[in-house]
């Protein structure tokens, strides 16, 4: 068995698996310790501030807070190996059930945001790179800087003020009109997909109306990041000899840009887009709070405010798994698209 590990690919896979496990353990340990030293008291969230000391002590022992910190963490890891993330104090449900309920809403929001941000970011980045030093280049760079440096929650509040309160073009808080809530059966958890599968286009239009504003706000941040990176990658290609050769041959500028330069930065962009997607899932915490979007971010915020460490630990684990999975997928696509990396 150990002889098999002499194969380079198996050794690389073993090293990657060990690094993934150690990363998740370190993430869980750090979050666990921080959660225990926070000034928030989850026992008070359960019994209330008017409970007597005996009731408080009873709940304190039931939650295991009387044990040493290392023992508490050991029990948590034991339950985690059995697929048990504990119960959320503020919902009363298993954390795994809660995550299965709220994650699809965040995935739908982040995916729409990524599509909008990637399409706009790549187009603006290529546009700016082909006009380096011109007015259009400076305008794109200012837009990118503004979108990247301005807090996303400010864009969210301004979007609600303008497009919902003043113009009435977009939906407000929530995911769909109250009249359509629970109308279509839940199959995937993605409301646009479920309503399309059910053929209920009224629900689809309502869900899209509520989704488009937070998706645009969240996608603006990724658009700024992707456009900056795309511009940098494209500028690095302009000085290459193959670009000069293509132009000398008389190829149309469109073919030089998209068929040669952009094709060579596509592999790098995959990593950027994958990281941007993970950032969108993480950044949805603020946007979901502003828009009262019933997803992962709002669930995590409620858990933090109430000191519910079972919910917080489950969310941290989910974020860690998502980021690691996206990195692994981007690495796999990198090797698939770039033959030079396969050795």
Mean pLDDT, residues 282-309 taken together: 80
Mean pLDDT, to the nearest integer, of 265-276? 83
| Structure token digits, residue 60 | 């304190």
What pLDDT does residue 339 have? Answer: 63
Buried b (16+ CB within 10 A) or exposed e, 35-72: beeeeeebbeebeeeeeeeeebeebbeebeeeeeeeeb
- CB-CB contact of 8 with 342 (8 Å): no
Cα–Cα nearest to 226, from 271, 260, 194:
271
Across residues 199-207, what is the average pLDDT?
88
In the predicted model, is pLDDT for residue 338 greater than 80? Answer: no
Q: What pLDDT does residue 341 have?
A: 58
* 213 pLDDT higher than 80: yes
Mean pLDDT of 200-213: 89
Location of each CATH 1.10.3720.10 domain in the chain = 96-341
Q: What is the pLDDT of residue 342?
A: 55
Alpha-carbon gap, residue 240 to 258, rounded angstroms: 15
Model confidence at 286: pLDDT above 70? yes
Query: Which DSSP category does 87 fall into?
Result: B
Is the pLDDT at 25 greater than 60? The verdict is: yes
pLDDT tens column, 34-47: 766 666 667 776 66
> 96-341 has which CATH code?
1.10.3720.10
For residues 274 and 227, the model is more confident at 227
**Is a pLDDT exceeding 80 seen at residue 332?**
no
Q: How far is CA 3 from the centre of its chain?
A: 40
pLDDT surpassing 60 at residue 70: yes
What's the pLDDT band for 178 if we cut at 50, 70, 90? Answer: confident
pLDDT tens readout for residues 86-126: 788 778 788 888 888 888 888 899 899 999 999 999 999 99
From the number of C-beta atoms within 10 Å of its C-beta (0-12, 13-18, 19+), residue 30 rates as exposed
Based on its alpha-carbon atoms, the radius of gyration of the chain, rounded to whole angstroms, reads 24
Nearest alpha carbon to residue 220 among 326, 118, 136: 118
- State the virtual CA torsion across 332, 337, 341, 343 in degrees, nearest 10: 90
Three-state DSSP class for residue 94: strand
| Statement: residue 138 has pLDDT above 70 | yes
pLDDT score of 115: 92
Maximum C-alpha span of the chain: 86
Question: What is the pLDDT confidence band of residue 173, given thresholds at 50, 70 and 90?
Answer: confident
Higher pLDDT, 289 or 123: 123
């Amino acid at each position: 068995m150990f002889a098999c590990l002499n194969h380079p690919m198996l050794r690389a896979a073993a090293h990657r698996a060990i690094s993934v496990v150690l990363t998740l353990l370190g993430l869980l340990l750090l979050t666990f310790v921080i959660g225990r030293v926070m000034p928030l008291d989850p026992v008070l969230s359960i019994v209330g501030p008017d409970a007597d000391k005996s009731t408080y002590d009873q709940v304190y022992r039931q939650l295991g807070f009387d044990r040493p910190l290392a023992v508490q963490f050991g029990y948590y890891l034991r339950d985690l190996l059995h697929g048990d993330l504990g119960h959320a104090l503020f919902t009363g449900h298993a954390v795994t059930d809660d995550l299965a309920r709220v994650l699809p809403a965040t995935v739908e929001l982040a995916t729409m945001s990524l599509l909008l941000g990637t399409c706009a970011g790549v187009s603006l980045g290529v546009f700016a790179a082909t006009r380096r030093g011109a007015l259009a280049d400076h305008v794109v760079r200012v837009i990118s800087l503004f979108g990247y440096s301005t807090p996303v929650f400010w864009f969210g509040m301004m979007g609600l003020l303008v497009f919902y309160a003043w113009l009435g073009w977009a939906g407000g808080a929530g995911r769909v009109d109250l009249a359509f809530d629970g109308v279509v059966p839940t199959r995937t958890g993605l409301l646009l997909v479920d309503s399309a599968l059910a053929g209920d286009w009224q629900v689809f239009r309502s869900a899209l109306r509520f989704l488009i504003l937070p998706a645009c706000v969240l996608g603006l941040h990724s658009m700024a990041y992707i456009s900056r990176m795309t511009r940098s990658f494209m500028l690095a290609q302009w000085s290459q000899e193959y670009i000069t050769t293509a132009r000398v041959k008389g190829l149309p500028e469109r073919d030089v840009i998209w068929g040669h330069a952009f094709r060579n930065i596509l592999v790098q962009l995959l990593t950027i887009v994958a990281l941007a997607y993970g950032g969108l899932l993480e950044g949805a915490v603020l946007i979901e709070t502003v828009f009262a979007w019933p997803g992962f971010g709002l669930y995590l915020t409620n858990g933090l405010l109430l000191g519910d460490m079972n919910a917080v630990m489950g969310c941290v684990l989910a974020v860690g798994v998502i980021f690691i999975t996206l990195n692994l997928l981007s690495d796999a696509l990198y090797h698939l698209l770039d033959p030079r990396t396969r050795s």
